[in-house]
Amino acid sequence: MIVEVIFGGDYTNLTPENVKFRLKKGEQKELVAKQKVKGVPAFSWNTLYTVSVIKAPAAVVTPTPVTPVVTPPVTPVVTPVVTPVVTPVVTPVVTPTVEVLTGNGTTYRGAQNKTISGKTCQHWSVQVPHMHRDTPARYPTAGLTENYCRNPDGDATIWCYTNETTTLWETCVPIPAPVVVIPETLTGDGADYRGAQTKTRSGLECQKWLNQAPHMHKATVLRYPNSGLFDVGFENACRNPDGEATIWCYTMSPTKLWEACDPLTN
């Protein structure tokens, strides 16, 4: 720190700029020796002088140019969303065959492809072994698909051209429904009976187990879920859900609540 020594008293050829010392602020110093200060003639004194701070001029600091750090724009990495190719599961449309013959069979769309004598039918779109005019193009709404028996021209019943060269055409009958054998076996008290009996021993019609009319009851499907009370097609069949001596049912007679049953005779 540069300080200025202020001299008091009588002195010659001295100015504040001539005498300078590096002292601390407020420090007193006794100058007792001859001394040259910047070419000033020698002098001597024996006096205390108070030192005050001379502030050095502030240094001009040239700021170092700061090169701004330019952060380059970051292009976000976009991961493309790849939608997986889902191969649709194509469920083949299966047209249910209805083996019901109404009237002369013009609406029959069953799958019978054999005549009443067992001959295989010729395809309607084929002209061998027999040439004919009953084509799908001529009768587009007659269901002339494959070689199924049909009645496109209003005959008495369904028919088809045959694959036999000696037989031009022949009538058909619908495919008979499969025979379902329902066991009518009664074992013990009949708790496991799942037959088709729907009449009591006296011939009364059984009430459906789901119904509460004509008789209200507690032998419901919810109460006895494993007793066959809701077998499809046998909703009013005789059963034994509650451990009676044999199978039974509620009756459709308002005057008779319930009655025992016997299995059907196969």
pLDDT range class, residue 183, cuts 50, 70, 90: confident
In angstroms, the first-to-last Cα distance of the chain is 131
Mean pLDDT confidence for 102-113:
92
Within this chain, domains 97-179 and 181-266 share the same CATH topology: yes
Q: Give domain 97-179's CATH superfamily.
A: Plasminogen Kringle 4 (2.40.20.10)
Mean pLDDT confidence for 116-140:
94
The pLDDT of residue 215 is 97
CA distance 209 to 236: 6
Which segment, 79-83, 97-101, 138-142, is predicted with the most confidence on average? 138-142
CA distance 214 to 239: 18
Domain residue spans in the chain?
1-57, 97-179, 181-266
Q: Which of 239, 201, 234 is nearest to 219 (CA)?
A: 239
For the segment(s) 181-266, the CATH number from 3.10.350.10, 2.40.50.140, 2.40.20.10, 3.90.550.10 is: 2.40.20.10
Out of 57-61, 154-158, 205-209, pick the least confident. 57-61
pLDDT range class, residue 10, cuts 50, 70, 90: very low
The pLDDT of residue 22 is 44
Q: Point out which residues pair with 160 in neighbouring strands.
A: 170
Q: Which residues contact 259 (CB under 8 A, 6 or more apart)?
A: 200, 201, 202, 204, 248, 249, 251
* 48 pLDDT above the threshold of 70: no
What is the enclosing helix (H) or strand (E) of 52?
Answer: strand 48-53
CA distance 154 to 139: 11
Q: Could you check whether the bond before residue 57 is cis, i.e. omega within 30 degrees of 0? A: no
pLDDT in tens, 238-265: 999 999 999 999 999 999 999 999 999 8
